[in-house]
Structures are given as C-alpha cells and as structure tokens.
Chain A
Amino acid sequence: SQQGEEDPQALSIQEGENATMNCSYKTSINNLQWYRQNSGRGLVHLILIRSNEREKHSGRLRVTLDTSKKSSSLLITASRAADTASYFCATDSYNQGGKLIFGQGTELSVKP
C-alpha cells in the first residue's frame, strides 16, 4: 500500500540552484521522514519531522509539513553535484499500526 507520493519523479538542476521536492500522503501520521539514496547504496536518513512540527532545518536542508494538506516538502539550498541521488519520503502512521511506508521517490540530478 502506498502512503507517500513524491513529486516530481525527476528533477534536473544546475549546481548552486535550489531543489524542492514534495511529498503527499493519505492518512494521519505520527511523523514523516526524508531519506537519500545514492545509486546502488543504502538509504541515509536526512530529517524526521513530527506531526506537531511545521518546519525543521538541517544544514542546507529545510523540511516543511502541512498536516491540513497532508503534504511535506524538502528544500535543498545551494545544491552541489554530490546531492545527486534519489530522495524518498516515508510516513509513520498510527492508524496503519505504526508501519513505515515509503513513496516512489524523486530522482535529483545536479549538474556541475
């Protein structure tokens, strides 16, 4: 069962530009997490935002959460070629038994 859906599916930008990825979900959540995955590698946790939080920052990353719209966004500022990866949102929902469900991801390409 799919909970989070990322948009866009693919994004190509130049180094130094900002990248924004969106995630929409269907049911109420406890928290929403963003992960990065480089090709052929494991998933790296970026940020966890709880349902009672609206914004969190970590270095060049900014995550917002709008529970009324059931959506979240991940902003990467001043992107670098090393940010090239797939980005996934994952939701932890109480009424789904606390399952951690991933979306299909956004593939980000940052060109030098």
Chain B
Amino acid sequence: EAGVAQSPRYKIIEKRQSVAFWCNPISGHATLYWYQQILGQGPKLLIQFQNNGVVDDSQLPKDRFSAERLKGVDSTLKIQPAKLEDSAVYLCASSLVGGRAFFGQGTRLTVV
C-alpha cells in the first residue's frame, strides 16, 4: 500500500517568511497527526485530526501556525511568520482510529 506522502522534503526560508507543508495520508485513515521534532528530542504533537475535525491542538502556536484537513483527506500545515526556533523536522502521520501510526519522511525546515 502507498505510504504517507509529505512535501517538500526540505525547505529553507528567512525568518518572518511564510511556509506551507502538505501531507497525503494513507487512504482510509481517519486520524492524521502533525508533529514537530527538534533535533535530539521526541516528536511533539502539534495537531491531531479525526476525519476533518480537530481532536487536539493544544500544543499548536496558534498565533503563527495553522492547519487544515479539507474533506478529511489531505492536510496542510502553515507557519506565518516563521521564527528561528521553528527550525525542525515536521512529521505527518496517519492511522486508523486507535491503530498504529504510519509516518511520512518529514519536511526538514531551516529558518535563517
């Protein structure tokens, strides 16, 4: 089966610019996750969707980050404006409800 697709793989932007990441989950997976992973740390959950509803976004910095999941399938995560501390790998994952999560390869963001 096709895995979780993410794009782009790498992105370099200047601080205060905006950036968007895209995720296409595994077909049929109702749950979609976005994580931020800073080097040397575990993944931090930013937002979790079930279909197109939000399960949790308590760790999402809503003044600059936004995410949507249209029609309960693809999702985009946006940062506007970016800060230096946003440099990290952004991971998307999907799962059946209560099942194992499948991860994409991630987008490595560097903010300079």
Interface set of A (CB-CB < 8 Å, partner B):
1, 30-31, 33, 35, 41-45, 48, 88, 90, 92, 96-105
* Cβ-defined partner of A104 (8 Å) among B42, B45, B97, B102: B42
Min CB distance B20 to A, Å, is: 20
Whether, in the assembled complex, B48 has its beta carbon less than 8 Å from a beta carbon of chain A, the answer is yes
Pairwise interchain contact B100-A33, C-beta atoms closer than 8 A: yes
Tell me if B100 and A42 are in contact (CB < 8 A).
Answer: no
B45 and A88 form a contact (CB under 8 A): no
- How far apart are the CA atoms of A103 and B41 in the complex, in Å? 8
What separation, in Å, do the CA atoms of A30 and B50 have in the docked complex? 16
Q: Are B97 and A100 in contact (CB under 8 A)?
A: no
Q: Write the chain A residue with the least CB distance to B6.
A: A42
Q: Are A90 and B98 in contact (CB under 8 A)?
A: no
Interface pair A31/B101, CB less than 8 Å apart: no
Residues from 82 to 112 in B contacting A, C-beta threshold 8 Å: 91, 93, 95, 97-106
B99 touches A48 (CB 8 A): yes
B21 CB-CB contact with A under 8 Å: no
Query: Are B101 and A33 neighbours in the complex by a CB distance under 8 Å?
Result: yes
Contact of B35 among A48, A98, A102 (CB under 8 A): A102
- B residues apposed to A, CB below 8 Å: 31, 33, 35, 41-45, 48, 50, 55-56, 58-59, 91, 93, 95, 97-106
Contact A45 B100 (CB under 8 A): yes
A-B contact pairs, 8 of them (CB 8 A): A30-B98, A42-B103, A43-B93, A45-B102, A98-B50, A99-B48, A100-B45, A102-B45
Interface Cβ pair total, 8 Å cutoff? 60
Please give the distance in Å from B39's CB to the nearest CB on chain A.
Answer: 9
**C-alpha spacing A23/B103, complex, angstroms:** 21
Given A48-B99, A97-B55, A102-B42, are A42 and B104 neighbors across the interface (CB < 8 Å)?
yes
A110 to B106, CA, bound (A): 26
List the A side residues contacting B103 at CB < 8 Å. Answer: 35, 42-45
Cβ A98 vs Cβ B105 within 8 A: no
Tell whether, in the assembled complex, residue B91 and residue A100 are in contact, meaning their CB atoms are under 8 Å apart: no
Closest to B104 in A: A42
